[in-house]
Structure 1
Amino acid sequence: MSRWKALPADLDPRARHLVVSLRRLKDHSGLSMRQLAAKTGYGTSSWERYLGGRSLPPKKAVEAVAAVAGEDPTRLLALWEVASAVWTGQRTDPAPVTPADAAPGVAPGPPARRRPPRGAVVAGVVAFVLVVASAALLVARVSGGDEGRARPVAGSSAAPAGVEAPASVPSYTCHVERIGGQWFAGMSRTQDVILASGHAGAEVAEAQCLLRRAGLPPGDIDGIYGPRTERAVQRLQQRAGLVVDGIVGPHTWGALRG
């Protein structure tokens, strides 16, 4: 598996999520950077920029790497939509096309002009797409072996007719135990689901419980990946000698469960 360099410190967490997902697919494919370039049609230098968090990959490149890895591109494309909406100003300009990347017989054109920021409506739509895609992934996930279970607080009696009942609020309680040489908190058995700032659910609560067990308090066990949880993850990564990016992936899960 590749030993990746740390991503730029100013890269938005939602853009980080896309890059980390692409890195993971590249690792799982077993391809070198040169082989990935040959199979996707995008140059080696382009993939180094995309996977280094220095340039937003084109949508077609995301579809291409999903096809190479044999993955359904739906979730990756939802991540790409969100990342493209929040990509920081210095990264919204596509990198200039070099002679090596240009199509044969076509002269490189002038640098692309910076795109204006997308409106709130577009951001809302892509966020909704991400939520729907993530929910579908949680329901259908089999290969990861996840068994996340939200524990809802007992609700009150039914509301009177015409009055909307309040939504049930998830509540999480840590039940940490050692099973087969690994630590589990009773809410998920995942080993590889990717978590980052802004995520929520049973997997986040599982990570929070294991961070607390490791002596790295993440704040409340609320299933919300906020700043305190991210800082606790970074301290764990530093202690374990991992890339300190504040994102929980397979290596960080290994440190949490080990």
Structure 2
Amino acid sequence: MSVPTTAEDRLVREMRRMKESAGLSYEKLAALTHYSRSSWERFLNGKKPVTRQVVEQLVTALGDEPNQLLDLWARARLEAGAPAHPAPAQPATDRSLPRPGRPPVRELAAATAFLAGLALGALLARAGRRIPAASHIALIPPHPSGGTP
């Protein structure tokens, strides 16, 4: 007697088969997508729900057509009582997007540096000091003897 499988089980099994037939490790798959190695391991072992974005990124990483896998995903969603048509995903090939669940570190660092500069400028202006322009800073060449003058 066989155990009945759900559409989610079939989806995960097919995704795992596709990964294995492409000869990809979890690390290589993570390098090709916006998801980490551990996330892929959880998706493909059925420990974490598979989203449309996960399906699209796997298909894009493998260079396959998404139709069959997206049909399986839609059946799994319907079987679970969820709508099968959420908002379209961001393009899977755009590596400039942060990985889900991770803060956009570069953007946060740039914003923090900008705000710190504004705060410093405001403090100096309040203290009555002017920030010298770069053209007014004297550049002193090194002494020919290698030491200080």
* Deviation at residue 70 of structure 1 after TM alignment: 2.0
After TM superposition, list the pairs within 5 Å mapping 1:1-258 onto structure 2. Answer: 12-87=5-80, 101-105=101-105
8 Å contact from structure 1 (residues 28, 69) kept in 2: no
8 Å contact from structure 1 (residues 56, 87) kept in 2: no
Aligned mates of 2:33, 2:16 — CA distance in 1: 15
* Deviation at residue 100 of structure 1 after TM alignment: 9.0
Aligned mates of 1:82, 1:52 — CA distance in 2: 19
8 Å contact from structure 1 (residues 66, 72) kept in 2: yes
**Structure 1: unaligned runs, 5 residues or longer:** 1-8, 89-98, 108-258
Max Rg structure: 2
TM-score normalised over the length of structure 1: 0.31
Aligned mates of 2:22, 2:41 — CA distance in 1: 16
Can you list the C-alpha shifts for 1:46-98, whole angstroms capped at 9, x where unaligned?
A: 1111101122222111111112222110010011011123349xxxxxxxxxx
Aligned mates of 1:12, 1:57 — CA distance in 2: 16
The two structures, once aligned, show a CA RMSD in angstroms of 3.0
Q: Which amino acid in 2 is paired with 1:32?
A: S
TM-score normalised over the length of structure 2: 0.51
Task: Could you list the structure 1 runs, at least 4 aligned residues long, displaced by more than 4 angstroms after superposition.
Answer: none
Distance 1:41 1:100, change over 3 A: closer
8 Å contact from structure 2 (residues 52, 73) kept in 1: yes
Q: How many pairs does the alignment contain?
A: 89
* Deviation at residue 30 of structure 1 after TM alignment: 1.0
Q: Which amino acid in 1 is paired with 2:54?
A: A
Higher relative CO (CA 8 A, sep ≥ 6), structure 1 or 2? 2
Aligned mates of 2:52, 2:5 — CA distance in 1: 18
8 Å contact from structure 1 (residues 14, 83) kept in 2: yes
The structure whose residues are more often helix, as a share, is: 2
Distance 1:74 1:102, change over 3 A: same
Question: What is the percent sequence identity of the aligned residues?
Answer: 34
The aligned residue for residue 127 of structure 2 is none
Aligned mates of 1:68, 1:12 — CA distance in 2: 27
8 Å contact from structure 1 (residues 50, 56) kept in 2: yes
8 Å contact from structure 1 (residues 59, 77) kept in 2: yes
Aligned mates of 1:51, 1:18 — CA distance in 2: 9
**Structure 2: unaligned runs, 5 residues or longer:** 82-98, 109-149
Aligned mates of 2:102, 2:13 — CA distance in 1: 27
Distance 1:101 1:31, change over 3 A: farther
